[in-house]
Amino acid sequence: MPQTPVESDVPRPTDHALSGFVVAIDGPSGSGKSSVSKQVARALGYAYLDTGAMYRALTWWCLAQGVDLDDPADVSSAAADFPLVIGTDPDDPSVSVGGTDVATAIRETRISTTVSKVATVIPVREVLRQLQRDLISEAGAARGGVVVEGRDITTVVAPDAPVRILLTASEEARLARRSRELHGDADAASVDATRSQVVDRDRTDSTVSQFTVAADGVTTIDTSHLDFEGSVEAVLQVVGATRS
């Protein structure tokens, strides 16, 4: 059942407990967390929230508004007045900003190579963390549960989630996956062209969030040698064990 997109406004303090059954999934680029999270949400009949898309959408908004991405104060101001509408239906994870559909645009290389400049600004992370908890609770209440994925969901955004998973994979596997996604193959040239969007971005983002090693209470699933179906099943098994 499609979900009504939730519109952001000036962030509000969110000290409330999360609503619904929350499955929090973190992981580095190319670990498969987005595709796996969407399929897990479908299998469970839950909502789905891609928090990475929120940072990408804010990056798009900053560029569209002429915000200097090298000025953290300007980026923070843009985040505080960010006209985002994001859908939580796993079959239609829509994203729009100021009435413009940006679901495709935020996946462009110009966004992928600059999003870390936005995502590493601490006040921005604080603003979006509050919004993310609101979205998780609203979507979870509507569907009974939500699968939310990103980089600091298990540790900062939703450390109180009943299921917390770190989805990881070897650098080689992650580069090959992202290369096939972006270029259609994983030959040496394609992998090289993809490296900055995977390894370099992860190195930069790891300065403000921990998504390479599982925190206490977080289950690690290594997908290096798992296909898509096997990765989904591994996550569902963790969810099933928690719910039983």
d(CA 69, CA 48) in angstroms, rounded, equals 29
For tokens 């936005």, what's the residue?
Answer: 118
How large a percentage of the chain has pLDDT more than 90? 65
Q: How large is the angle between the packed helices 122-143 and 72-80, nearest 10 degrees? A: 30
Is 174 a residue whose pLDDT tops 50? yes
pLDDT tens track for 72-114: 999 999 999 999 999 999 999 999 999 999 999 999 989 988 9
Residue 148's DSSP bridge partners are 24, 49
What is the structure's pLDDT at 31? 83
b/e sequence 95-133, b meaning 16+ C-beta within 10 Å: bbbeeeebbebbeeeebbebbbbbbbbeebbebbbbbbb
User: What integer best gives the mean pLDDT of the chain?
Assistant: 86
The pLDDT confidence band at residue 40, using thresholds 50, 70 and 90, is: very high
Is 11 a residue whose pLDDT tops 60? no
Please calculate the CA angle 107-60-173 and round it to the nearest 5 degrees. 30
What is the structure's pLDDT at 172? 81
Side-chain half-sphere CA neighbours of 96 within 13 A: 12
The pLDDT confidence band at residue 169, using thresholds 50, 70 and 90, is: confident
Higher per-residue confidence, 179 vs 37: 37
Could you list the beta-strand ranges (E) of the chain: 6-7, 21-26, 47-50, 84-86, 95-97, 100-101, 145-150, 163-168, 219-222
Distances (CA, A) of 243 to 25, 48, 162: 16, 18, 9
The pLDDT confidence band at residue 206, using thresholds 50, 70 and 90, is: low
- Does the model's pTM come out above 0.85? no
112-121 average pLDDT score: 92
175-202 average pLDDT score: 66
Question: Parallel, antiparallel, or unpaired: how do β-strands 219-222 and 163-168 relate?
Answer: parallel
The pLDDT confidence band at residue 6, using thresholds 50, 70 and 90, is: very low
Distances (CA, A) of 139 to 2, 45, 83: 11, 12, 19
Is 175 a residue whose pLDDT tops 70? yes
Is 242 a residue whose pLDDT tops 70? yes
34-39 average pLDDT score: 95
What is the structure's pLDDT at 29? 78
* φ/ψ (deg, to 5) at 221: -120, 115
Is 201 a residue whose pLDDT tops 50? yes
Is 13 a residue whose pLDDT tops 60? no
